[in-house]
Amino acid sequence: MILINLLPHREAARKRRKEAFQATMVLSALAGLLIAGAVYWWFQMMIEAQQSKNSLLRSEITVLESQIKEISGLEAEIAALRARQQAVEDLQSDRNLPVHLLNELVQQLPDGVYISSIKQDGLTVNMQGVAQSNERVSEMLRNLSEGTPWFSKPELVEIVAKVVSVSAKDQRRAAAFNLRFQLTRASEAEKNAAAAQTGKAQ
């Protein structure tokens, strides 16, 4: 006996395929949403972690900036203390400069040169006097520049020919001079003297 299916089987198959397709679409959409949610959550976690690192770095930078300010303040205090210490040392060394000045002048002045006035302003010395000739003044300038570590930069300001009365009947020509030079502090003079000794030894 032959059985004939009179039900609309094509429509039923089409309906089943449509339902299956819709279910697949729904599942695909849900899977896509889950994946998108997971990716979003992962990015959010990374952003939060980076933000926490950034906030930690900002706090550390703030601490470092305050420490840098403290260090710069300490460096300024150290520089001020060193300047004060140097000033005290310079004052202590300058206390003996007049002694060195007079001692060195006695040794460096050639015969025939007479000093009439000495004035010291800081490390600058102005000296006036009379010499028997211009050659004596030149010799004195040479001695002041090369013969001692205590003097430097001798400079002849003025030299004038004049007549000097030695006695009631004896008058001689002389050279009145005005010069200035720089005194050297004790620390620098010791260095210059040591350098000169080393140069002579070589």
Query: Span 52-74, mean pLDDT?
Result: 91
Whether the model clears a pTM of 0.75, i.e. scores above it, the answer is no
pLDDT value at 201 more than 60: no
pLDDT in tens, 140-169: 888 888 877 777 888 888 888 887 766 667
Task: Count the alpha carbons within 13 Å of 20 in the hemisphere toward its beta carbon.
Answer: 6
Q: What is the pLDDT of residue 9?
A: 66
pLDDT value at 130 more than 90: no
Topology, domain 97-186: Gyrase A; domain 2 (3.30.1360)
Both tokens of 104, joined, read 């060195």
Query: Span 175-191, mean pLDDT?
Result: 78
* Three-state DSSP state, 173: strand
113-121/151-165 β-pairing:
unpaired
Q: What is the mean pLDDT of the chain?
A: 82
* Domain boundary assignment for the chain: 97-186
- 186, containing H or E segment: helix 186-201
